[in-house]
Amino acid sequence: MKLALKIWRQNDASSKGKMVDYTVEKIEPDMSFLEMLDILNDELIVKGEDTVAFDHDCREGICGMCSLFINGEAHGPDRLVTTCQLHMRKFKDGDTIYIEPFRAKGFPVIKDLVVDRSAFDRIQQSGGFISVNTSGNTIDANTIPIPKHDADKAFDAATCIGCGACVATCKNSSAMLFVSAKVSQFSLLPQGKVEAKERVLNMVNQMDAEGFGNCTNTGACEVECPKGISLENIARMNREYLKSSII
């Protein structure tokens, strides 16, 4: 395949960026999207040009490191996959592909397609944990009976890899799907109930402080989420927040 690429290039966080046109050839349908970018970067190195910076790590959809807004969608046109799991068979010979960084006030661009997602870390640090005594007398979590329904819901929420696709795709740059998944994965389990009130208040407060927008329930985040995190978590977070605010 021969493809025309329009890629966001930006030297650093303080400089202005712009879309730059590139062409790549001999792209195989079985290549991953990131491999296609690797080929582009190889060609740029040969030409002595600056390579395109993009985030990646595990390249198997687990770590949540890869991002990219491809042809107007977070992680590209496929569903329930991260960019590293996106294959070039989803594109046709002669296509023009727009590749942009995840855009949000809370995700400032560091360079080219790399954004700073440490806002998510700060939200997690504000309450996304449970306090457990790790002195050596820790009780095995499996000794506490938990209804399967609750365990399944908590696990579903915990599959969130914190990639930020929800923020990137939301027209309001809202982080509520991420935060609600992190609230839910604890609040559904007995171990998480002890700090439930402080957790939801602190995490929502930190989310707002990071400059993310407000959820308007378009549902775009759920559609684009590579792990299929449900909007049900946002409703649960809203309930938890209201309950914690009132009581």
Partner 1 sequence: MTNSTILKSSIAKKVAMALSGLFLITFLSIHFFVNLTSVFSEELFNMMAHFMGNNPIIQFVMQPILIIGVLFHFIMGFVLDFKNRSSRPIAYAKYNGASNASWSSRNMIISGIVVLSFLGLHFYDFWVPEMAYKYVEANPLNAQRYYHELGEKFESPIRTAIYSFSFFFLFLHLWHGFNSSFQSIGVNNKYSKAIHKFGYAFAIIVPFGFIFIALFHHFNH
Residues that bind partner 1 (CB under 8 A): 6, 8, 19, 69, 71-73, 77, 98, 100, 103-106, 169, 171-174, 176, 201-202, 204-205, 207-208, 211-220, 223-224, 231-232, 234-239, 241-242, 245
Identify which of residues 32 and 184 has a Cβ nearer to partner 1 in the complex.
184
Q: 73 pairs with which residues across the strands?
A: 70
Residues 83, 84, 90, 93, Cα dihedral to 10°: 100
Q: How far is the CB of 48 from partner 1 (least distance, A)?
A: 27
Under 8 Å between Cβ of 204 and 237: yes
Give the containing element (helix H, strand E) for 204: helix 196-209
Q: How far is the CB of 245 from partner 1 (least distance, A)?
A: 5
Of 216, 211, 215, whose CA–CA distance to 105 is shortest? 211
Q: How far is the CB of 179 from partner 1 (least distance, A)?
A: 10
Q: How far is the CB of 136 from partner 1 (least distance, A)?
A: 35
Identify which of residues 161 and 175 has a Cβ nearer to partner 1 in the complex.
175
Identify which of residues 38 and 232 has a Cβ nearer to partner 1 in the complex.
232
Identify which of residues 26 and 171 has a Cβ nearer to partner 1 in the complex.
171
Identify which of residues 124 and 238 has a Cβ nearer to partner 1 in the complex.
238
Phi, psi of 229 (to 5 degrees): -65, 130
> Tokens standing for 197?
């009130």
- Looking at this protein, which amino acid is placed at residue 120? F
Under 8 Å between Cβ of 10 and 17: yes
Between vectors from CA 151 to CA 127 and to CA 63, what angle results, nearest 5°? 60
Q: How far is the CB of 38 from partner 1 (least distance, A)?
A: 23
Under 8 Å between Cβ of 68 and 56: no
CA–CA dist 72, 227 (Å, integer) = 19
Identify which of residues 84 and 220 has a Cβ nearer to partner 1 in the complex.
220
Q: 90 pairs with which residues across the strands?
A: none
Q: How far is the CB of 75 from partner 1 (least distance, A)?
A: 11
Identify which of residues 58 and 193 has a Cβ nearer to partner 1 in the complex.
193
User: Strands (DSSP E) along the chain, which ranges?
Assistant: 3-9, 18-24, 69-70, 73-74, 96-100, 109-111, 114-115
Q: How far is the CB of 167 from partner 1 (least distance, A)?
A: 9
